[in-house]
Structure 1
Amino acid sequence: MSPGRAPAVVAAVAAVLSLGACGTQTWAPGVADDPTSTPSSSATDEPTPSPTATPSTTASTADTPDPVDPGVLTIRGVPRGAPPRIPYLAHAGDTWALVRPDGTTESLDREYGEFATMGDGLVATTYSATGTQVVLLDGQLQEVHAYDVPEGGLVATPDGAIVGWLGADGRPHVVEHGGDQEWDLPEVTGGSSLAALLSDGTTCKEGVEGVGCAAYVNSPDGTRAWISISHGIVDTVPGVVAVGDVATGDAGMVAMTSVSDEGSCWGRFQDFRRKPVWETCDYTLFDFSPAGTGILAGPAYLDGFGQGLAAVLDLDGQVRAEWHSRDQAALLHTVWEDDDHVLALVFQDDQWAVLRLGVADGSVELAVPPVPDRGGASPFVLPTR
């Protein structure tokens, strides 16, 4: 978080907390972080050969793959770009590893379904026949704590300083200060998953470092959402059936307003209002960009194996960029790399790859080159942002 923005952040979250104390509307977003530096969509850290066959100087031009047009989602003929600028998990042989942005890898003892960085360690989820757990890994990537959870679902504050999940007792649980500090927020009766976290600083503790934090919780059937605030208030979020994401600054909140067999409708909310600033039934709204200037989106109807569409909308609901699947490319997961790029986990031709999607020009390049399928399970896990 930029130090110059801190007073406004404090004021915004203080407004949430004071409103909750008065029994009036209690959900609200705060103030935007400064954007981070971004790589060029065509930059490469090292001159690495393309994963597709490269013709010799004497080869026929017919052997040269067709260039990939902007907005086309495919791994065929896509140029190699820089590796991901955020950490990810990768499977190789019989082991899993954390791959850092500088390219270093660190071995993991087992597979994790979701993860977020926390200091030098991780917060991650594991799944087994006995249930789901969230585990805390220290700087040596050794598991030091484990927590039973209803169904998983990690979320992080926009700056990544706080990571949380919904505990088995219905209380949002957060870890912060590199994993050295943990807190429980008030219990949400009927909640099943944590949707978003918002804080005015790097802690949920009220006092010198801030005025607390707020957790957004969704019901299991997607018909109701709540806010749980650190100083003891629990209230429903009006006008929505499920919260998608919240952001600092003027971005506000994205949330589902209705759902049917044909799809869902989503809106962007702002200024404590019960009605959205705008609403769309053409897209599912996922996450705000790190600085809260864009919204990552997908198709309105999510079903089957993967998606055939990825999009980025601006804060007015206008489409900034859109990518459509070609040759049966299935999009399994998208995450913001920075404010100008999205990473996409894609399955195509019995291979898995991570693409980088450029918001400014609709460009597509390989961030992680294709690897063969190992029986239907992805060899890559992108982080929770």
Structure 2
Amino acid sequence: MTIVRTAVLAATTLVLASALAPATAGEQAARTVLDVSDLEQGAPPEIAWSERRSGSTVIHGTDGTRTPVSNRLDQFARMGSGYVVQTIGGRPTTRWIAADGTPGRGEWRTGYGLAVSPKGQVVAFAGRAGRVWTIDQEGDRVLRFNRPPVTGTAHAAAVTGENCKEGEGDPGFGCSIAVNGPHRAFYTSSHGIVDTVPHLRQTDTGRGRWLGGTTSVTDFGSCSAMLRSWQVKWRTCDNQLSDISPDNRHVLGTPAYADGFGPTALDVLTTSDGSVVRSFTSARDGSSATYFDEVWEDAAHVLVVTYQDGKWAVVRLGVDGSMEYAVAPRRGSVDAFSPFRLQTR
């Protein structure tokens, strides 16, 4: 996408962003250039990650297990004793596999995207005509939900609740799945309720009572909002919202518009008010990294898959601005898929 900005548009955007974003955002944040060309080697990732080598792909578990999976792996999430995996190549396919790579009983044609509950007890996915499913901690036990009125293919975005089996367990159990249609965000619950997600055009992230997503998208960028218990807490036109930290204190902000090979800047925002506490920025000469798959490793660190100077790596970013390799760099082409993927949380 080619971005053309006139002086009038730039001024209008600046005024709009200033009106919507907290006064402490952006320019007051501590900044770190995302140059990953020469970092120290740190500990391995504390979440699962996949690696493709010589035509084979394995998921590295945090317990040292190596699970063989399809080379078409796109997304995966921990679930019970195995993983929910989604593969691409034609229409996406989702299924559960055991830690030794043995497939579960079912396989589903779905839309892109897996959504995971905060404690990882539920993984949701969606498909054509608003079909929504969850897989729970019993592995390949699958539940179906009432369909949102989606024309086309739905995409799972967020899960609230750790048990979708109504009538089982202690009182109060239940779950809600946020899904995106082509033009609108909806939710469907284990109570049988289906409705639109208020205020958001698309849901991008969620954890507990927090839900974030885009409110508008144009050729020149996007605006987003963060909701708590369905009420808007803050808005921004500086970022799209990504993963929320395990302690709910921070949310990742990617650029408000996408252009080129991949993003080169990443913000860490305070979930409660949208203020920016750390910015990982690009070098002025363009020599810094591009990143993908940004996922919180713990409450103080983010893992990203990076590409710089012909090398792919998994890098650990600290909220304090620290950077180190979690998986050492590997030479690879910018024209090929990344050899690394991080689990969806």
Instruction: Provide the TM-score with structure 2 as the length reference.
Output: 0.84
1:228 aligned onto 2:213 = no
Partner of 1:197: 159
1:317 to 267, 271, 274: 274
| Alpha-carbon offset, residue 74 of structure 1 | 2.1
C-alpha contact 2:178 2:185 (8 A) present in aligned 1: yes
| Alpha-carbon offset, residue 311 of structure 1 | 1.2
C-alpha contact 1:99 1:106 (8 A) present in aligned 2: yes
| Alpha-carbon offset, residue 146 of structure 1 | 4.3
Spell out, residue by residue over 1:330-372, the C-alpha distance to the aligned partner (whole angstroms, 9 max, x if none).
112211111110001111111100110001x111111111101
C-alpha contact 1:245 1:287 (8 A) present in aligned 2: yes
Spell out, residue by residue over 1:301-335, the C-alpha distance to the aligned partner (whole angstroms, 9 max, x if none).
12321101111101211111110133142112211
Partner of 1:362: 321
Partner of 2:26: none
Partner of 1:260: 218
Structure of larger gyration radius? 1
1:77 to 38, 41, 44: 38
Q: Which contiguous aligned blocks of 4+ residues in structure 1 show a shift greater than 6 angstroms?
A: none
Question: Which segment is superposed worse, 154-163 or 297-306?
Answer: 297-306
Partner of 2:85: 124
**For 1:271 and 1:136, how far apart are their aligned partners in 2?**
31
Q: CA RMSD in A?
A: 2.0
Partner of 1:24: none
Gaps of 5+ in 2: 1-29
**For 2:98 and 2:77, how far apart are their aligned partners in 1?**
12
C-alpha contact 1:158 1:290 (8 A) present in aligned 2: yes
Alignment of 1:210-225 (within 5 A): 210-220=172-182, 223-225=183-185
Partner of 2:7: none
Instruction: Provide the TM-score with structure 1 as the length reference.
Output: 0.75
Structure 2: which amino acid aligns with 1:296?
L
| Alpha-carbon offset, residue 89 of structure 1 | 0.5
Partner of 2:13: none
Structure 2: which amino acid aligns with 1:370?
P
SS in 1 for 2:104: strand
Go from structure 1 to structure 2 and tell me whether the alpha carbon gap of 1:168 and 1:373 turns closer, same or farther (over 3 Å shift): same
Go from structure 1 to structure 2 and tell me whether the alpha carbon gap of 1:109 and 1:300 turns closer, same or farther (over 3 Å shift): closer
Gaps of 5+ in 1: 1-68
| Alpha-carbon offset, residue 122 of structure 1 | 0.8
Report percent identity of matched pairs: 34
Partner of 2:23: none
Structure 2: which amino acid aligns with 1:134?
T
| Alpha-carbon offset, residue 211 of structure 1 | 3.1
Partner of 1:172: 132
SS in 2 for 1:77: coil
C-alpha contact 1:335 1:342 (8 A) present in aligned 2: yes
Partner of 1:350: 310
Which protein is richer in strand relative to its size? 2
| Alpha-carbon offset, residue 202 of structure 1 | 3.4
